[in-house]
Structure 1
Amino acid sequence: MAKTKAETTTLDRALRGTLVGIWAERLARAFWPFLSIALLLWAVLAFGVQTLLSGGWSTAFGLGALALLLAAFVWGVWRLSIPTRAQAARRLDQTLPGRPLTTLADRVAIGEDDPGTQALWAAHMARMSRLLDQARAVPGDLRLARFDRYGLRFIAATAAAVAVLFGAPARVTDLAEMAQLSGRAEAIALGPSWEAWVQPPGYTGRPSLYLNEVDRPTLQLPEGSLVTVRFYGQPGVMSVVESISDRTDPDPAAMAQDFTVESSGRLSVRGPAGRDWEITTLSDQAPRVTLAGAPARERGGLMRQDFSAQDDYAVTSGQITVALDLDEVDRRFGLATDPEPRETLEIDLPLPASGSRDEIEDAFIEDFSQHPWANLPVVLRMGVEDARGQTGQSAESHVILPGRRFFDPMAAAVIEMRRDLLWSRENGARSLQLMRAVSHRAQDAFRSTESLARFMETRDLLQASLNDGGLDAATRDNLAEALWDLAILLEEGELADARARLERAQERLDEAMRNGADPSEIQELMDEMREAMRDYMQQLAEQPRERGEPQPGGEQMEVTQDQIQELMDRIQELMEEGRMDEAAELMAQLNALLENLQVAEGQGGDGPPMPGGEAMEGLGETLRDQQDLADDTFGELQDDFRDGTPGQGQPQQGRGDEGAPQDGQGEGDTEEQPEDGGGQSDLADRQRALAEALRQQQLQPLPGEGMPEGDAALDELERAQRAMEEAAEALERGDSGEALSRQADAMEAMREGLRAMNDAATQDQREQAEGDSASETGNGDGRDPLGRARNQGGETGTEQDMLAENDVYERARDLLEELRRRSAELDRPEEELDYLRRLLDRF
């Protein structure tokens, strides 16, 4: 069947393309070694290897490279097989379905004269011809992995790329370089000659100098530069005369000489083609470092010491040393004992990881709060070093080593005991005596049973160590760590309730004001109080609850968040001005406001009661009863220890003061036993009753039922009930310590459950409020066109509306940033820009 001209053109194009692909494939397989070797040699020459070889070696290198290239080329020619058009047709035919090229060359073997057979064969040929219209050139297989198993071609390509980026490709074409080296070698062999180089120190960044090509009579060289001189020919004909090094008795006629530039002077090469240079030395000054003021105490007790360092080229390292200034220490109380020797602290200075280091202005920040020298007089000194090994020292600074300060009285006392133990182990007996004194009426000194239990454990460990023959270093360090954790617990507490955290923040701020704290500490405590105040106001706004009956004749106050904020701003302003007495008076007024604080919940009067509110009040009462029971259990445990029968649960007719002396005195210092106490059997009955009450409360409607928060609350209450039952069993066995631990677990679980229920109740109220607002205003998101939340009265921007927001300050910051962004868009109308600028000027 004859093919049309279009079919022939398509087929010829496909065959030519396939043939080109076969050529590329076979050339790549035959000449990839030649190409790889050529790229490697090009990279070597681009990096200037010809300048590092002498005349003989350079000639050998050039001949070897040419021989290697020739061998690779011959190997490629021998491996190359010339492709033919028939091979291209066969490869193309194999890629087409039914192999149409082979089919078109076939003939009918049977039934050639049969019309039916002829018709079928014609249809078959027509189909094969149509397939040829789809023929496309077959690309060559350029994958060489099975021929180059070690990836040598990639190594050559990488070397060539690096040479292009970092080498000097122009050297490759300068083939006369090798001839010059060869001629130089011949000249050296024929007569005397010389060569000289100057290599400046690497840290200066200056280039090397080949003195044979320097025509200037004067040179400026960095101090420490290495001068290398080589003479060729008959010895003694040429010599070096120089006054720039500190060499002693050099041989001026030595054939190879190396010396370092130390001072300005003259360098002369005497002999045929000799030269003279006047050398001016660029001195390398020692680095300098300066302390920028006294160290400052950052948030959390971190020490910050600003400093600056300079050098001619670069500062390579630095250290700060901290040594105890014993002469300035107030040697009283635990510090009256001679301190144990401690090594001077040496800490590396922070230096820039990149960029220039000739001018450094940075800050050294470190936490020394747990070091024995924290808040004691020390001597600070900084030292820096440059690349040449020169050092610079700052002036000594006699300062107080900043560290964390504790404003809770008991936390401060614990930290002082810790400091005394670290100062000297001889203070162990004194610290134990102080702990015993604190143990007297211990429940009045500690805020929680956990902190009291930790204190007692630390006291017992110290007493056991002293009884065993003395306090060793390892035990002392363990005691110091335990006392630090205890002080943190006493200072920060475990308070989850917003009101309790607010009271705690007020107490710490008041203590800091009385003790004359630093401005940074005042600012930190003020920020903490603001955060606690914001959380407390939000809690009051989102979850109204009973806060106690007013006193007869008393007057309840209603204040806004803005009024409280203004009062706190005024307190901070007075403290910053140093007017602590006036600040203390305003703080007292703030405390009085908080005692009678009320927050209005809307204009419609009292809203519907919160679902499960009675159950939550009952759970809160159960939690308080459990706390009282835990206190009684701890008192029973102390009585057992005093009687010498720990954990046996002996009924007591009365309970003396905790931590009373054990030598017989203080028998009259007993307290009235709680009416529900009277032994561990009574405590076990009370614990059983509380567990049953908690079980009944779980059966009542609770907030968040069916929600994840509600399910989490029920899980926590069930855990609390199990812990109560285990505590009751421990009390029945007489194991007061185990009972106290289980009671702590129960209280923690109840707190978590109450938090989860509070979150669920808040979510219910928000959803209900959003639904009511949407139904009244027709706006499903409950906000006006400016993005402000609507209240039930249709008014916006009120104090009530602000208190309902999750984070008023964050919303205000967002709005201010939006105003600034829009005012910076100059393509807006001028009227709008003027309005935005007036808003920014106002706020």
Structure 2
Amino acid sequence: MTARQQDTGTQDPDKGRQGKALMRRIARGRAFARFNLVVERLAPGLVWPACALALYLSCSWLGLFHAVPFALRIVLLLLLVGGFFAGFWPLRRFKIPTRAEAERRLERENGLAHQAVSVAGDRPARETPEALALWHAHQRRMAEKLGSLDPGHARADFSAVDPYGLRAVPALLLFVAFLYSGATGSGRLADAFLPPAEESETALALRFDAWISPPPYTRQAPVYLQADGVDQVENIPEGSVLTVRLSGEGADAPISFQPDNADAPQAPNEAEESAMMRGARFTLSSSGLLEAAGRQWMIGVVPDELPVIAFKGRPRAAANGALELEYTLTDDYGVTAARAEIAPSGGVDADATPLYPPPEFPLNMPSRSSADHSAFTSRNLTEHPLSGKPVTITLVAEDAAGHVARSAPLDMVLPARNFYNLLAGSVAEQRQIFALDTRAMPEALQYSAAITLRPEETIPDLTQFLLIKSAQTRMLLAHDEESYLDTAEYLWEIATGIEDGALSDAERRLREAQDALSEALRDGASDAEIARLMEELRQAMQEYLSEMAERMQPSEMQPGDQQALRQRDLDNLLNQLENLARSGDRAAAQQLLSELQRMMNNIQPPSSMAQQGGQQNSEMREQIDKLGELIQEQQRLMNETFELDQQLRDREQWGDPPPRQDGEQSQGGERQRSPQEMTAEELREALRQLQEQQQALSEQLGEMQEKLSELGMPPAEGFGRAGEAMDGAAESLGEGEGQGALEGQGNALEALRQGAQQMMNSMMAQGQGQQGQQGPNGQTGWGSQAGRDPLGRNQGTDGLDFGDDVQVPDEFTVERAREILDAIRERLNEDAPLPSEPPYLERLLEPDAGN
């Protein structure tokens, strides 16, 4: 074997295969590198031809060639064609990259030195054994550096041919033209090559489109006007919108609408005009003549009538004092809102400042089954100060067009709550006095002071006495609207608490639940919201009936009462109400709810007079007496502290009084000196001596709290604050600070009154109220109502009796209505074949679609 053979290694097959693989890898990388070089040299020269082509496409898609005259089109086309071919001029210097250039590019991309790529295929100048051995060793070292060759990416340099980046303008224009053409189909690529004869044939014929859109509340379909059809259109609702559009050749023709009751044409609400289209939109308020495209149409407009609302019989009061109104309500397209305006009448002082605005009384809409369009609304206004006063009631109705109608006013005395307990009625009267005119607060205070003048005779219940005394304090401290309102609400709670106890709270919750459900039905609430409000109404009704039943004596039950009020009747009524609401018949549900309110308003609660003879727990009574004595003692101590502090301030400003020369001693020794005779130091000492009394009151309060806790009463926050205030006042008295002590004593007194109120509320919640007895005229809590049971039904009726005005759908009707609604919703979720179908289906699902 020669040295040449050993150096070349031809005997090693593996090395031969590795060498061939390396050469293939180098050849592949060289080819990609040469391609990148071709792209980098060719792309800058193709910029301007591509820009000319993009401008041609943009002009075609935007319809420019179609719109401009033929001569201008030819000039524009020649410029684009010339620019396209002129853009190839820089390519005259284009050269195909050589093998060596591709290898140098490949070496630069991979960071190879010493021409590592070309070494693999080169040969030494002298092929001696020593030179070949050295050359092969050099090749092996270079091959180890090659690895995987990355040809890189083409990076064309456009700065030489387009230093300002103008090529972005045709690119952006091409993008906009493509989107515009795809949406409107405005232009074609062949428009630039159309001859002049064909261009004249592309003129569009005149197109006439006109339609009348009635207002949505009329639920009428649009009316289309035909260019070659009838020339008269009748029965168009007032407020409809007339839309006219002309397009094509002759679209510049005038469009006008001349009302019959006007001397000049009506100005359009909206107008649009372009080279090939003219449009106008008019709101029709009266009949008139439409002129467009050389034709005329007579359009007859039907005026929107005013709604009509009137009383149907005189308003009446329910058993619980709720105001019941029955009325008739009609309109050509339906009333959107109705209410009763209640205003005071008689000798009303013009300078009076009432605390509450006039009561709100929204009215229910008539049901579709009502033959005379009558409706009924019941609402409890006994809490408003105007109850029991002369008022004027006017019914107001408003339709969707904004027309407002009013009924003839009716004068009556607004129904008020009957207070069988004289003390409760007196408290309610005090509230009414200053609520109707805040300037009359002194008069209300005189009334309140009168009933507490001899409390042992007029107020046998100490809790009620404490509440009334705390109300007097609030009345004295009231100074703004918020404090006046707070005082009025507090007095009403006292009055209803004395009269009915916890039953009044249950009745309020029931009324609030009924009002919330009624408002949700009017506003078209969702099924989930209706279900939630129905559950709240069930709970409130159950609590009210349970509270009423607990307060009744067995002797008060008349024969048949236990069977007259059956739970299944109420359950059936509530289930029927919920089914009507969920099936979409909100008007029938509203009417049924009104009947339910009427029945519940006519339930006679057990009279408050029947609750005065019960016995209270002796230990609880003892603690209540102690609380009253504690409040009185705290008030006395506060008065004494105030007198000493005032005298001390006088001494600090004017000095000590001169000593008395006569009568200094009494027959029995030294007499007790009054604060007016004491010096400043003596007054401070007198204040310090009051510390023990204040501390003793604080200890008594703590003992009373422990006793109440043992009796099962929950802790009252007011008593806790009172104890802290008492301790602070005692500390100030020990330092001789009268002002600080007065502030603490005042806070303690107010906290004691609040604690007394909290204790009363707790007693009410725990059923501490007394048992009842018969009311006036021997009427019991469940007393009959002119031959009717507590729900207002005729005696002996099996189930619920709604009278002649309420048509309750049967189960089949409700189920059928629900199936129809489900079918409409399913159709709405599908792809509609016509664009007008989804809005029509959505209108069918509206709560008032059937009215």
**TM-score normalized with structure 1 length:** 0.41
Between Structure 1 and Structure 2, whose CA radius of gyration is higher? 2
**Which of structures 1 and 2 has the larger relative contact order (alpha carbons within 8 angstroms, sep 6+)?**
2
